[in-house]
Chain A
Amino acid sequence: MKEAMIGQPGRHYLNEGGFGWKSWLLTTDHKRIGILYMISITSFFLLGGIFALLIRLELLTPQADLVSSETYNRLFTMHGVVMVWFFLIPSIPAVFGNFLIPIMIGARDMAFPRLNLASWYLFMLGGIVAIGAIVIGGVDTGWTFYTPYSSTYANAYVVLTVIGIFIAGFGTIFTAINFIVTTHTMRAPGMGWFRLPLFIWSNYATAIIVILATPVIGITLVLVGVERLLGFGIFDPAMGGDPLLFQHMFWFYSHPAVYIMILPGMGVVSELVACFAYRRIFGYIFVAFASIAIALLGFFVWGHHMFVSGQSLFAGLLFSLLSYLVAVPSAVKVFNWTATLYKGSIRLEAPMIYALGFIGLFTLGGLTGLMLAAAAIDIHVHDTYFVIAHFHYIMVGGMVLAYMGALHFWWPKITGRLYPNGWAIIAAILIFVGFNLTFFPQFVLGYLGMPRRYHTYPEEFQMLNVLSTAGATILGGGYALPLGYLLWSLGWGKRAGPNPWDARGLEWEMTTTPPIKENFEVIPLVEREAYDYAEPALNIGEQLRFEREMAAQGEKGYR
């Protein structure tokens, strides 16, 4: 029985089944697949980050002195393509969703483990194709592939890039199928829908968006490819086509896609806030339904990307109104998190710093989104750095911080090791400061009129651009730190007990650290509500015994 065993289990998912490459590349264990994703998306993040660095270096001076305009077009395009499709969209769902969902609901694995592995391979194949396109010359259309430039006139590897995105999209769809079916059919006895952690609700809502939106971008990109290769004039005005049709189709996917990117982050924040305020989430039902509302309402607003493209005034006003509506459920979440924090027992551990950062920065990004939803404002700031700052506040200030928070929160459970707290807090602060220095000046730049996707600009904008680049350097340093100390912890970090944060949830209270391959010795019977911080953790005794035993054995880091 586990009770008798002090220390980490002898056999767990990392060493059971062997260490060989076959046991990893042919695994169907959702936990190992999550780790495979973790390694791949970190690599893509680095690649996308290098493009960003080059962009910011070019923008240090008003003239074009680092790269030509053709190259610069490729840089921002590839930055967008890699970050959107190969980092942000998979990030939290593919890494933490895969690892945690079966455990959080009390199942042995996902509903379709082999499909899960296929998802990862499709993701990798799509990525390799996209990288291939980058290596042989890249694309310069912007990640938005607007026609007729992309479909007729671009002298670049559009089709190859589009194929990479299409393949990766299939991987995402398969993951979404797994998430939805697993959540419906594989919950443990007693795990009703309203006892689920909010992380599950968020990933479930995300999966719904993936199912309804991803096929649309798939076929839209196919149409672009068909037009390029065969000369069908679907979007080309010279052949009677309407370029705006592409934009309608593209944004029907891409707006919900931004909710694919942020919803899982919100799910993580719910988990972190509950644990580090040591309280149940205030208004659980509201937060749960807000996730679904965001998923659904997010489909009705895409025209706000097209206010100045030529769509009718009526449509513009309709989309503007609907865009105001979609902000409501997001605001509901922010209010509920804040209410959870109020009079909670706050512990400022590294994950909590990231969660708090998320709440603040996401709110700023969201408010500027409302500004953009007003057509009258958007006319002036569309295609300026104001828009860029807005979505980076959400994507980096929100989503990347949430990813880092998730990484720092579940790292002990996933690896069995703790990282050095001091360094983690330094990194979190560096990231927060670096981020704001990078992107706040961009709000001002956009408001003053600096256009996006330009590699030259008027002299008077240089100061703000220099500040932004300086911030980017600090941000880069901030990202490098966790890469360092997390890898270090694998070999030399303190060993983690079953529940080092004294959190609630099946992954903390009912599994070992690291978890055994089947997750649970016996499928649990769930009898408590989610986030039951009023009662002690089910395994708090085990955690305390673990810590005493580690100290007694003279384990490093324990006293």
Chain B
Amino acid sequence: MGAHIASQKTYFTVTVALLMLLVVKVGLAYVHIGIWSLVLTLTVATAKALLVILYFMHVRWSTRLVWAVASVGVVWLLVMFALMMSDYLTRGDVHYMLNQPPVSHTVNER
């Protein structure tokens, strides 16, 4: 049939790589490098996600249609993030909420 069958060795290798990347990710959290911490952590997470998608989910050996469907969700999320942040980052008020006094909040009657 058309489905590609990977070797058990492939799966073991990928799993080891994933676990190593996990250790790297945790380690990064304890290194003080400011904003880069977030960037690098997300990069590592994305590397792990790609390993899972390409090997565990077989996209590496799948048709172009599957590639397209697998990518479209990601691309569309990026569109959502970009356009949403185009509002929040240009409001000029990122710190305003921190200055609000605490408000006592009563449970609403239903």
Binding site for B on A (CB under 8 A): 152-153, 155, 184, 212, 216, 231, 233, 238-240, 244, 248, 252, 299-300, 302-303, 311-315, 318-319
Contact = CB atoms under 8 A, between A and B. Distances in A.
Contact of A240 (B88, B97, B108): B97
Interface in B3-35: none
Contacts of A184: 65
15 contacts: A152-B108, A153-B108, A155-B110, A212-B73, A212-B76, A216-B80, A233-B105, A299-B79, A303-B87, A312-B87, A312-B88, A312-B90, A315-B83, A315-B87, A319-B83
Nearest to A216: B80
B90 A303 contact: no
A245 to B, nearest CB: 8
A303 B108 CA distance: 30
B107 interface: yes
B86 to A, nearest CB: 5
Nearest to B107: A231
Scoring B72, B76, B97, B103 by chain A CB atoms within 10 A of each residue's CB, the highest score goes to B76
A303 B83 contact: yes
Interface string B25-54: 000000000000000000000000000000
B91 interface: yes
Contact of B80 (A233, A239, A252, A318): A252
B84 interface: yes
Contacts of A240: 97, 100
A238 B65 contact: no
A152 B97 CA distance: 20
Contacts of A303: 83, 87
Given A231-B107, A314-B86, 17 more contacts: A152-B108, A155-B109, A155-B110, A212-B73, A233-B105, A238-B105, A240-B100, A244-B87, A299-B76, A299-B79, A300-B79, A311-B91, A312-B87, A313-B90, A314-B90, A315-B83, A318-B86
Contacts of A155: 109-110
A212 B97 CA distance: 32
Nearest to B103: A238
Nearest to B97: A240
A214 to B, nearest CB: 12
Contacts of A312: 86-88, 90-92
A128 to B, nearest CB: 23
Nearest first, the 6 closest Cβ-Cβ pairs linking A and B are: A315-B87, A314-B90, A312-B90, A311-B87, A312-B91, A315-B86
